[in-house]
Amino acid sequence: MKNLLLLAGFLLAIPVCVMATDRFVDNTLSSGNGTTTFNSIASAVAASDINDRIIIAPGTYSEPQLLLPHALTLMPSEDAGIVELNANVVFTPGDNYRYEVFNLELGQYQYLYGASGNQSARTVVHFIDCQAYNWNFNSNGWDIIVISSIADNTITYRHGDIVRCDVSNQISLNDEAGPDPYDRIQSIIQCDATEIRLRSTQAQYRVANNYLQRLFVYAWNSSESITNDFLNNQFKTDANIGFATQNIPRYNIRFINNTFDGGFYRCDGFIQQTGQPTGNSNFSSSGTPGAGCDSGPLGLDCNAPGYFEWSFNDQAGQFNCTPNSTQPLVLNHVFGNEVPSNAIDGGKPSHEFYDTDLSVNDRGRDGGTWGSANFPAELDSKAYIYTLDMPADLFPTFPVNVSARSYQRH
């Protein structure tokens, strides 16, 4: 069996016992007893109460659309079992509802939201080792955490973490409507994706250690108190990269320790908050530049305040303006032959970027705080650490505050 254990600040979250029922499903049964055994997932869900576990025998289940009415766990009855379900799965929001879904494969079908939720009492959904054509949670009040899963097309959401996923097309993080006090950084970590599109003016971004073709950043939280980080990513040959250049309230972006399999194209003309670039928004999927993309310098609004850092990447940073003392935008940069040629211990030497062995971080996908060392191959007794904030200063005379989020199979 597999359960989810979250760690925060290295404090162990001890599960609290709740009155819940295990309901078992096996489609080889001619019938069940209607209370604890069933021959369809839908009938088990219909008989369930909040926080019950639906434990499913591995196999293929062809059912109508599956509506989950309240917080539930869906999981296979065997440790390595896979449940193939031919149905769209729809989740119902509820204050502080928590759904957990393990090893559920939907083929051409989708995970979907039922309605908007409460932003101050979010509906949380964990997906572990799952597969679907689309994850569509493009609505308010959801907190979506997708780990070690496959999207045959897209993942679209407004709040949450996408970790170690294989996404054939696009990961899109969009704005929520109305003000929202975001309680944590929104992370995309260790994914293989064709494209990442970021359109949220509310979210603070951490995009780290991904392998991707295109990165389009239309909007971001521009608060002076935060940074939006793009760290240790590996870009495929002839990648397209673009940051918004119009209607910018403030830049607060760090692009650090990234590597490129080949050259990349800079994509200009993006307008903050509109969600689309000017002109043709259909960017090429072949790796060649799409509309607004060329081999010229990275376009920025150099009259906007704030800072844009390009440092310790293995491609030179070229900008459409020259840093100077009177220019509002501060360009922090290391480029050309100043970039270390050796990727090992060749990243930015600040402590917050260190590898977890406390050495200077390696450039590229395996290095840094969110590198492959946090994702051990053997998980029987180890945890995935999928977000980790290292202290800015590691000297013993200073207080240390390390914050982490992880999950462990057991």
Per-residue pLDDT tens digits of the chain, which is 410 residues long: 344 444 343 333 344 445 789 999 999 998 889 899 999 999 999 999 999 999 999 999 999 899 999 999 999 998 767 899 999 999 999 999 999 999 999 999 999 998 999 988 999 999 999 999 999 999 999 999 999 999 999 999 999 999 999 999 999 999 887 766 666 789 999 999 999 999 888 889 999 999 999 999 988 999 998 999 999 999 999 888 988 888 888 999 999 999 999 888 888 766 654 444 443 343 333 334 555 688 888 888 888 899 999 989 988 778 887 766 677 888 877 654 556 677 888 888 888 888 888 888 899 999 988 888 777 666 555 666 777 676 656 656 666 666 777 766 65
Q: Compute the radius of gyration of the chain from its Cα atoms.
A: 22
Q: What is the structure's pLDDT at 155?
A: 97
pLDDT recorded at residue 299: 83
Q: What is the pLDDT of residue 334?
A: 67
Predicted local distance difference test score (pLDDT) of residue 163: 93
Residue where the block lists tokens 């650490």? 385
pLDDT at 277: 43
What pLDDT score was predicted for residue 201?
A: 87
- Per-domain residue ranges for the chain? 15-157
307 phi/psi in degrees, rounded to 5: -145, 150
The pTM assigned to this predicted structure is 0.87
pLDDT score of 395 = 59
Question: What pLDDT, on a 0 to 100 scale, did the predictor assign at position 75?
Answer: 93
For residues 158 and 143, give the distance between their C-alpha atoms in angstroms, rounded to a whole number: 8
pLDDT of 197:
92
The per-residue pLDDT for 14 is: 41
Write down the pLDDT at residue 18. Answer: 53
